[in-house]
Amino acid sequence: MMASIKGVPICKACCATNNNHRHCYYYSKQIGLSESGSRNLLNLRVQNKWECRLGGVLTKTQTATTPVEENDKPSVDGNGETQITEARGFHRDLQSLPRPLSAIDLSSSLSDGSKVRVAYQGLPGAYSEAAALKAYPKCETVPCDEFEAVFKAVELWLVDKAVLPIENSVGGSIHRNYDLLLFHRLHIVGEVQLVVNHCLLGLPGVRKEELKRVLSHPQALDQCEMTLNKLGVTKVSTNDSAGAAQITAAERVRDTGAIASVRAAEIYGLDVLAERIQDDTDNITRFLILAREPIIPGSDRPHKTSIVFSLEEGPGVLFKALAVFALRNINLSKIESRPQRYRPLRIVDDSNKGSAKYFDYLFYVDFEASMAEPRAQYALAHLQEIAKFLRVLGCYPIDTTL
């Protein structure tokens, strides 16, 4: 591919002093592009050159192969001629501009995350906070009252990312968050699988046999039903498990306990009366990591792609939609259907008497392939011919750690 050179007017110090912008040009020369196309865009090198001609006389030329740093300002020598030093780094304003995250950015953040602010629903000590700390061990966690507030925090640039529970191996899918994924324009950039360890907490010095009521999130109470029935306690629902621990610590009632995490016990000064009291020991919650910009999909490690689509009514339409993945040997790891909130019913014919009505559904699908793979691209192109609506929610590395 041949290199391209473009010239556009710019304003430099020399132009400002002479009030003449007609002879000041900025050249951007792109070199290093290969014939293989867009996949080699990462090999692109940009060579920038600006030239100022005052009265047709060239005064100074700069060729920069690295961006200009804020402190790299022109200096004046003894003869009054402008001297331009070599640039050394990115300008601060350029660093502040938003850009798509890359797979390298994600992997480096996963190992550090010291500068990342992550929003989650609940109070400190919630399982969502534990998932955020697993993804970004040194991040700053930001609690939010509701799931809607978590999305808003990212959209309003109050935080960098959000961690959102999407499904549990015992309780199933969290439908509210599926609906919010469609309503908001955030991108899935990762996932976290967290082993849930439900603990029975109480005030210091209290034995579990003394408890008469236990507070927690409704799902946690359901998952520990056998243990609670043996104790003969009254189950009281709260907004989240960490909130139950906070209430127990604040009320200081000896016969009141809570089901929450070990971290919640440490934060609110409670004793762990029993660990792993859930009925099913294999209790895992899957969380999604959301960001304002998508990551660049790679093929160096297993990836997952999440999509949502809708179909016209007809025989075998869903079969045809899912067949686009089977034809290309792409495994589907998740299928979830949700009714369309703004168009729940469809009337088949024009008659209002005795006409059949169908529910309009959206289908959420996770498939194990990267968008960088041709087979995934061909599958989605094929699906687009069948679906009346299609949106890619994100392509991200698969979390294989527990």
pLDDT at 47: 40
Tokens encoding 399: 């979390």
% of the chain surpassing 90 pLDDT:
61
Catalytic residue among 147, 285, 305, 367: 285
Catalytic residue among 151, 227, 256, 287: 287
pLDDT at 136: 95
pLDDT over 60 at 96, yes or no = no
For residue 255, give the amino acid letter.
D
Quick one: pLDDT band at residue 353, thresholds 50, 70, 90? low
Between residues 203 and 356, the one the model is more confident about: 203
| CATH fold label, 295-397 | Alpha-Beta Plaits (3.30.70)
Distance, in Å, from the CA atom of 241 to the CA atom of 194, rounded to the nearest integer, reads 15
Nearest to 306 by CA among 338, 334, 341: 334
pLDDT over 90 at 91, yes or no = no
State the DSSP code for 168: E
Ranges of each domain in the chain: 117-194, 199-277, 295-397
Distance, in Å, from the CA atom of 97 to the CA atom of 147, rounded to the nearest integer, reads 27
Query: Which H/E stretch holds residue 333?
Result: strand 332-339
Locus of tokens 């989240």: 240
Q: 93 CB contacts (<8 Å, ≥6 apart)? A: none
pLDDT over 50 at 74, yes or no = no
Between residues 93 and 355, the one the model is more confident about: 355
Name the CATH superfamily for 117-194. Answer: Periplasmic binding protein-like II (3.40.190.10)
pLDDT at 300: 83
pLDDT tens profile 146-204: 999 999 999 999 999 999 999 999 989 999 999 999 999 999 999 999 999 999 999 99
Distance, in Å, from the CA atom of 274 to the CA atom of 259, rounded to the nearest integer, reads 10
Catalytic status, residue 285: yes
pLDDT over 70 at 35, yes or no = no
**Within 10 A of 311 (CB to CB), how many other CB atoms are there?**
19
Out of 245-249, 341-345, 346-350, which region has the weakest mean confidence (pLDDT)?
Answer: 346-350
CATH number attached to the domain at 199-277 = 3.40.190.10
Q: Are 43 and 34 in contact (CB under 8 A)?
A: yes
Average pLDDT over the chain reads 78
Distance, in Å, from the CA atom of 330 to the CA atom of 327, rounded to the nearest integer, reads 8
* Phi and psi at residue 214, to the nearest 5°: -130, 130
First to last CA, the chain: 47
pLDDT tens profile 305-322: 999 999 988 889 999 999
Q: In the predicted model, what is the mean pLDDT of residues 110-123?
A: 79
Nearest to 164 by CA among 290, 350, 38: 290
Catalytic status, residue 367: no
Q: Are 214 and 259 in contact (CB under 8 A)?
A: yes
Hey, do 117-194 and 199-277 end up sharing a CATH topology, with the first three levels equal? yes
| CA distances (Å), origin 251, targets 203, 245, 248, 386 | 10, 10, 5, 58
